[in-house]
Amino acid sequence: MKISSERKKSLDEIQLNINYKFKDINLINTSLTHSSYANESKMRIYENNERLEFLGDVVVNLVVSEYLYHRFSELPEGELTKKRATIVCESSLAFAARKIKLGEYLLLGKGEEATGGRGRESILADTFEALTGAIYIDGGLTNTREFLLGMFEQEVIYALSKGNLFIDYKTELQETLQKRTKSKIEYKVVKEVGPDHNKKFYMDVIVENKVIGSGMGRNKKEAEQMAARQALDRIGKDNE
């Protein structure tokens, strides 16, 4: 299937986001093609991402199971199963998809587009699994493991201590501070580093003119989340 130059540019962007370069660009394109888009194609030349999603589901579970097995060597099978279920769920996979902006690169049918499918958790979670399957086919288990853990390991570690995965740190910080103060929470970009295609943002979170946390991310939203997480860590230590 021929990929247009405009589509190829979008695929190049998402490859930068995930820090993985595909040998076969058709694989990543297929992983981002929803069945609604494929079904609406007049010539039916588009393959959808459902087969890759099927594979990716298995691979995500394998990588997470392997991670938990080695990290929590003292835990029995039942506890490991519970932790895996906490990690591999629709909301956490959708959060992961949002983190790398998968929704922006999805090929959706007109109906799904009109009803907000680009931001729907089920579609984002399925697409993340399809992308994982595509990386596995293209680059093998080692690259897939690096993609999953390299991008999300810190969230996994933090979330396991909190009881759930891929927490919205900004919301949690707001809820935590509401119990203490009515002051406004402000997020401020301190600096931007790097070229446009690989920029890093440094962010402070400020309450009552005091910096309570700082973070860095590949976009402003991610930097805000990381700043909020540091603020939560500091609040937790202050309460110890």
Any idea what the CATH number is for the domain that residue 41 is in? 1.10.1520.10
Do 70 and 144 belong together in one domain? yes
Structure tokens at 37: 């888009």
What's the pTM value of the predicted model, to 2 decimals? 0.67
Q: What is the pLDDT of residue 100?
A: 86
CATH code, 187: 3.30.160.20
Low-confidence ranges of the chain (pLDDT < 70): 1, 41-46, 151-167, 197-198, 237-240
- CB of 132 within 8 A of CB of 56? yes
Which of 138, 162, 186 marks a domain boundary? 162
Residues 102 and 155 in one domain: yes
The Cβ-side half-sphere exposure at 40, using a 13 Å CA radius, reads 12
At residue 135, the pLDDT reads 98
Structurally, the chain folds into a number of domains equal to 2
- How confident is the model over 145-159, as pLDDT tens digits? 999 887 666 666 555
Q: What is the dihedral of CA 211, 213, 217, 220, to 10 degrees?
A: -50
- Residue linked to tokens 């070229």: 195
- Boundary (domain end) residue, out of 162, 182, 217: 162
Same domain, 141 and 232: no
pLDDT of residue 139: 96
Question: Can you give the three-state secondary structure of 54-96, one letter per residue?
Answer: HHHHHHHHHHHHHHHHHHCCCCCHHHHHHHHHHHCCHHHHHHH
Please check whether residues 27 and 139 belong to one and the same domain.
yes
**Six-digit token string for 27:** 């694989």
Q: pLDDT by residue (tens digit) across 180-231?
A: 888 899 999 999 988 776 678 899 999 999 999 998 877 788 788 889 988 9
Residues whose CB is less than 8 angstroms from the CB of residue 120 and which lie 6 or more positions away in sequence, other chains included? none
CA distances from 82 to 10, 76, 77, 95 (A): 37, 10, 9, 19
Query: Which residues are registered as beta bridge partners of 202?
Result: 191, 216
Are residues 190 and 153 part of one domain?
A: no
φ, ψ at 181 (rounded to 5°): -150, 155
Both 148 and 177 in one domain: the answer is no
Look up the domain containing 132 and give its range. 5-162
Angstrom distance (rounded) from CA 46 to CA 40: 9
- Give the residue numbers annotated as catalytic, written as ranges: 57, 129
Mean pLDDT of the chain: 85
Residues 150 and 186 in one domain: no
Q: Chain-centre distance of CA 135, in angstroms?
A: 15
Q: Of 177, 186, 187, nearest to 239 (Cα)?
A: 177
